[in-house]
Structures are given as structure tokens and as C-alpha cells.
Structure 1
Amino acid sequence: MIRSLISAAVAGLVGYTTTKIVMTSKLRSHEKVVRTNHAGRDVSLVEGPAVTAGLVAGGLLIEAPRQRAATLLVTTVAGGLGAVDDFLESGDSKGLRGHLSALAQGQITTGGIKVVGIPLASIAAATILRTGRSSQGLFPSNRTAAEKTWCASTVDVVVTGGVIAGTANLFNLLDLRPGRALKAGLLTLAFMPHEHGLTWAPGAAIAGSSAAAWPDDLGGEVMLGDTGANALGAGLGTILAENSTATQRALVLSGLVGLTLLSEKVSFTSVIESTPGLREIDAFGREAV
């Protein structure tokens, strides 16, 4: 336990320090990272690469080899493909439906690459996490033990990958107002069950990176963009996937699918701003931007 506490403390410090270093670098003011936010104010996308770097650096301190490998894989790929979409954007398709429609018409866009690439990386990470582990009770008893184990493991890999990819996508959808995605990430960490070997170090890396970005994000000076939001969501999704049962993962995936489909019809911002409690949490600490 003491070793886990030390690993978590170092992971949080490394995540914080790495994020701060990138946030305060010359990259922050480079013309290629400056965008206009919802309020018409110029903001820097440096937060995305900074948080991704912090998550990867802190993730190196994760004790469990499988979880460390899976976390580093998905945060790197999700952040990398998000950066491609942020800085090399092509096509005018928006949203999951738009990107899938473009792909169906043979149009390869940066958003489409992300829509395909993050789920593939998530399935690979899920394979790392779940290989050699079996789930019981999901299939009829007339199958052989080997068949049931293989089928259950295959389904669990797909569901686990779906949780990771779905969480990455959800956090990208939340990054529409200053601080919203960071708050959602910290609240998710706070309310999930915790086991020291599964959540402490990766959770500390997320908390440290988020703390480093917090003041400038809430101040409306920087934003996560696809780079940071996807990496943050993928890191959280990996913790959720590793710290839950097969049934819990299936329920989480169902919720993520439902929210993703809902986002195609309903504005999350409108729902949040019209809901007491959510509205106050969303506005907490935010400057008038």
C-alpha cells in the first residue's frame, strides 16, 4: 500500500509538472494553436498537448503492467489523433453521424480517421486488459467450458473497448465551455469506486494534469480541444474499464451509447444550462467569457 501511495503521489506530481511545462512553453502563443471560442475570444489549444503529455508521463508510474500498457496506448493514440483533427483538420463534417456519412461516401477526413482510429486503439487496449481473463454466466450452459470462456472473453474485450472509446468521445462532446471537461473528469474520479492498485496512480496522473490546466481553462485562455478531451476521456475510460465487473461495463457502455446518440439530437450545453445543479457546477469558477 505504501508503494502504491508513493507511485500515485509521483504520478500526480509528474502529470502536473509535465502539463505546466508544456502550458507555459512558446507553443502556447504560436499562431497555429490559436482558435476562436464560443464567445468570440482567442484561446490557445496548447492545453490539449499539455494535458496529453501529462497523462502519458504520469501513466508511466502505473504499477500494473497491463493497465500501464493499455493506458499509455489509448491516451497516446487518442491524443495524437485528436491533434491531427485539431491542427490538420480536413472536411466540413461534424459529429459522429457526419464523420460516418463522409466515410460511407469514401471521403477520408481527419475526423473520420479519429472515429476509426480511437475505437481500434481502444479494442487493442481492451485486449491487453482482458486477455487471459474470463467472464462467467453470459452464455448458455450447453456450450463447452472452453467455448464459453472464449466467447465471454471476446464479448468482454469488445465491451471494454467500447467503454474506453465511448468515454473518449463523450469528453470530446463536453469540451464546449471553459472547465466543463476537467470538472466532469474530476467528478468521475471522485465518485468511482477505488482500489489502490487500479485507480490511485492513473487517477493521480489525471488529477495532477487537470490541476495544472485548471486556472487557465476556467479563465477561458486555453481549451482542451480534441487532443486533450479525447486523451482525458480515454484515460478515464481505461480506469472505469479496469475497475468494474463485466455487468457494470455493459451498463456503462449502454449509457455512453445513449448519450452519444442523444448528442446528435440535443445540445448538452442547453440541457446543462437549463438544469439546476448542473448549471451551477458548470459555471463554478468560470470567468464571464
Structure 2
Amino acid sequence: MIYIVFLIGFLGTLLITPYFKSLLIESNIVRKNYRQDLIPVCAGIIFLPMIIINSSILRYFYESNDVYIYLFGIMSMAFIGILDDLIGDRNVSGLKGHFKSLLKGKLTTGGFKALFGGFVALLISVSISSNIVDICVNTLLIALSTNLMNLLDLRPGRAIKGYLFISIILLFTVPMYYPKMMIVVLLSNVLAYFKEDLKANAMMGDTGSNVLGISIGIIIAYNFSFIVRLCVLILLILIHIITEKYSLTKIIENNKLLNYIDMLGR
């Protein structure tokens, strides 16, 4: 079953990608990337059709309602990602910047995304947690996992490389078979799309990075012990504190190994 789901997701995404790219270009959904090239944005929407199809297959064969929680998170964050990609203000960046604007009485799309994502994470956490401490830890873990992919998505392929690294670790460490299937539901699509992002032919935008991030957060929150989740949360908090003070791109460029991985395949 896991191979069937992978093939459906991978081949289906390969098939639909040219159609979605043409749709975005013809609709003028384009933006300048870091090299000032105009390319399609919102390309993360490509992930959604095959996620729905494969989730339907999982629900039919496994009769588990967990897939609905997973889909709720993905679709909710894809929606707010599309909004941010289309009308987002790029003059304000970082969680700190967006919340500062909010305190001054100005709501940015980034601020709305942070608040909306927090409430989505809260609802998911309430659904899967056993006590108030679990709810708090899982909410923060899911919300910060989502934003982690946004932090990485500043250069072609960077966020997807980070997602693939984490997903491979999860595939080998999640204790049950069903969560592995849930990982493959998205992983297959991302691998099929990867070249488009890596070669800067399209930009998945917050539409895609939100989906990658919340999927990781949900898998971790749902399948690991409290100690593991707490350690992951502490790591995420540290990463966010560092990236509020220092440029992540500069950190990567100044590290030979990270820079090599970052440039690989471009």
C-alpha cells in the first residue's frame, strides 16, 4: 500500500504540474524571486489534488478518522498561504515584525497567518492531546514547525531539502505503519515537484511551505512521547530566537557544509 500511495502521488503530481504552472502564469500569479526573475508563485497548490486523492485511499482501506485532522491542518494552512502569497506585504518580516505591526493597530497578512496558524494548531492539539500541558506543547510545536518551513523558504529548494531531511528521519522513527503512510501522502508529491523549485522554475510560496511545515508538526505531535516532543519544541524555539536576530541565509552561507547542501542541485 505504501508503494501504491507513493506512485499515485508522484506520478499524479508530475502529470498535473505543467497544467498548474500554465494556470498561474496565464493568471499573472507571478513574483520576482531573489534573483529578480519573474516566476509562478503559489505553486504549492500543486500538492493539494494528490493529497486529497491519496487521503481518500487511506480512509477507504484503513477506516481511520485521523486523516481528517491531517487534512484540516494542511488545507487550512494552504488557504492562508495562498492569501499571503497573493496580497502579502513583503516590507514586514519575521514573527516579531508582524506582531509589532499588530500592536500598532496594523494587521499584516503575516500577522494574520501567525494568528490563524496558531488557532489551527490549537484545534488540532485539543483533538489529539490528553491534558492541558500536552495541548500547550503540541500547539507550539505545530505552529513553530509550520513557521520553520517559512524561514527556510528563501532560496530555491532550501525548504524542500529541510522537509526531506526531517521526513526521512520521521519515516525511520515513527513507531507505527499508518503515520508512515501519512508522511508518504505528501512526500511523494514534494519529490515530484522538487526539480521545479530547485531550478527556480516555480515558487511554492507560503502555500507550499505552510503545508510542509504543518504536516511535520502534526506527525511529531501525534506520534512521539512527551519528552521527544518537548525536546523538539525547545529546538524550534531556539531556531526562532536565532533567526529573529540573525539572517538564516547568512548563517548558511558562512558554514561550508550547510552552504554546500544549500547550493546542491541549483
TM-score > 0.5, shorter chain as reference: yes
Other structure's SS at 1:177 match: coil
CA contact (8 A) 2:43 2:204 kept: yes
- More off after superposition, 248-257 vs 57-66: 57-66
Structure 2: 5+ residue runs without aligned partners?
A: none
Other structure's SS at 1:35 match: strand
Other structure's SS at 2:39 match: strand
Alignment-derived partner of residue 76 in structure 2: 77
CA contact (8 A) 1:46 1:223 kept: yes
Distance 2:139 2:64 in 1: 18
* Residue identity matched to 2:209: A
- 1:64 deviates by 7.1
- TM-score by structure 1 length? 0.83
Other structure's SS at 2:123 match: helix
- 1:159 deviates by 0.8
Q: Does 2:136 correspond to 1:187?
A: no
Structure 1 stretches of 4+ with a deviation exceeding 2 A read 8-23, 51-67, 88-93, 194-199
Distance 1:91 1:106 in 2: 18
Alignment-derived partner of residue 210 in structure 2: 230
- TM-score by structure 2 length? 0.89
Compared CA separation, residues 201 and 27, structure 1 to 2 (3 A): same
CA contact (8 A) 1:52 1:227 kept: no
- More off after superposition, 88-97 vs 178-187: 88-97
CA shift digits 1:115-165 (9 cap, x unpaired): 1001110111112222xx4xxxxxxxxxxxxxxxxxxx1110121121111
Q: Does 2:13 correspond to 1:24?
A: no
CA contact (8 A) 1:69 1:128 kept: no
Compared CA separation, residues 218 and 39, structure 1 to 2 (3 A): same
Compared CA separation, residues 273 and 58, structure 1 to 2 (3 A): farther
Q: Percent identity?
A: 28
Distance 1:200 1:160 in 2: 19
Q: Which has the larger radius of gyration?
A: 1
* Residue identity matched to 2:166: T
Alignment-derived partner of residue 117 in structure 1: 116
Other structure's SS at 2:265 match: coil
Other structure's SS at 2:28 match: helix
Count residues with an aligned counterpart: 259
CA shift digits 1:247-267 (9 cap, x unpaired): 111111111111112111111
CA contact (8 A) 1:16 1:212 kept: yes
Alignment-derived partner of residue 163 in structure 1: 141
Q: Does 2:152 correspond to 1:174?
A: yes
When the two chains are superposed, the root-mean-square deviation of aligned CA atoms in Å is: 2.0
Map 1:228-267 onto structure 2 (within 5 A).
228-267=208-247
Q: Does 2:43 correspond to 1:42?
A: no
* Residue identity matched to 1:74: G
Distance 1:106 1:251 in 2: 35
* Residue identity matched to 1:158: C
